[in-house]
Structure 1
Amino acid sequence: MLKFVFWLLAGVNLLVLAIGQGYLGSFRTETREPARLKNQLQAGKLTLLTQEQATAPAAPPAAEEAEKPVAAVPAPPTTYACTEVGNFLLADGRRFEAQVAALDLGDRQSRRNVAGQEVSSYMVYIPPQGSKEGAERKAGELKQLGVTNYFIMGDGSPMRWGISLGVFKSESGAQSQLASLNKQGVHSARIGPRYSSSKQLAFQFRDLDAATRTRLEKIKAQFPEQELRNCK
């Protein structure tokens, strides 16, 4: 029994000695693992953090990065889906068409016929008198002034019970007749255009960019009586 106790104590002493000498490793060393840190790749760049540093909230992004402006998206170029110019009498339409040929629009340009009216002549007249009796009374006054070339307009005329004093091909001819009547004492006469149906032209242009539209407007400016509009 004494031998057993002796050897037991001896074994315990040897175990304590081995632990103290580090033959069996150090519990303190194994817990903190400094050797493992030394064996990490680029160990010099590692930094040990305290508990306070590890639990601190992440820093907000730098002010420059936070305020960096967003790049603006360029606006799409302006285009005009369909532009129409007109309505032209045939001669003016041909002149206009010759000038817009320089725009080289190909099948983006077209023309269409438009029913319209044009001045065919000019009439010297006395406005409607309201009734047949009124027109005849005015005709009697004309006779007394020496005017015999007149015509009372009756049913079917938009100037019913007016008096025609002549129809002229040109406005200048009508002006000469009016001046002659004024000398005779006729001061109620007027000059008015007479219209007839005619074929007119309207031109359409599709998918124009801003620059081409501007060039078209400059050409149209040479025809001030014409209208530039969006297609219906």
Structure 2
Amino acid sequence: MLKILFGLLLVINGGLYAFEHGYLNSLIPPSHDPLRLKQQLNPDLLKLVPLDKEKAEAGKAEKVAAVEPEKIPQTVEKPAEKPVEKPVEVLACTEIGNFDAAEAKNFEAKLTSLALGERLSRRQIQENARFIVYIPPLANKETADKKGGELKRLGVDDFFVITEHTALQWGISLGIFKSEEAARNHLAALNQKGVRSAKVGPHHLSAPKVAFQFRRIDAATKANLDKIRTTFPRQEARACT
């Protein structure tokens, strides 16, 4: 039994000695790379091909994109701004007057082209002018109209034939004034133009006059209204009371 154990120890020691001194290399292939490459078939034909630089960068970018998606700035479109419209200037209320019945009818007829509708209203005014510059009553309407033509040839346009059934019917009014001084100054100006038959006299309570009120009209309508008013020189425009 001891002989067998001794023999096994000798075999083991012999095997270790042979392994350490490389006697067993032909039986056991080496595990390190240089010797393994030498044992490969045609090792000289093996070449390390470097990865293309652009592909490498692209691959790197793909990896980065996979980890963190590219942040694309989003532009928020602002809604288109509407142009600011300039507010239209509107007059609250203006008044033109005072007309007698005949003048009021003529004036109102000229206003139809403006299509004012509810923006136009009338009101009666009872006025008591003190002094009148006038030409005394003539025989009839034809004679009064003829006298009116003579006044126009003298350059007098601000007058009207009195048609009401009063003491001055078929006379010609050349202006009504609140003071005698203003009436006489106007008479003097008429005399310089060649009007000789005019006089100054008291003007008693007259028939109601008509004033026209215009509400919420714009600048363009006001300009057209002023053009119409110029054909009635004795009438004035004023703010509504």
Q: TM above 0.5, one fold?
A: no
Which range, TM-score by smaller chain? Answer: 0.3 to 0.5
Query: Whose strand proportion is higher, 1 or 2?
Result: 1
Larger radius of gyration: 2
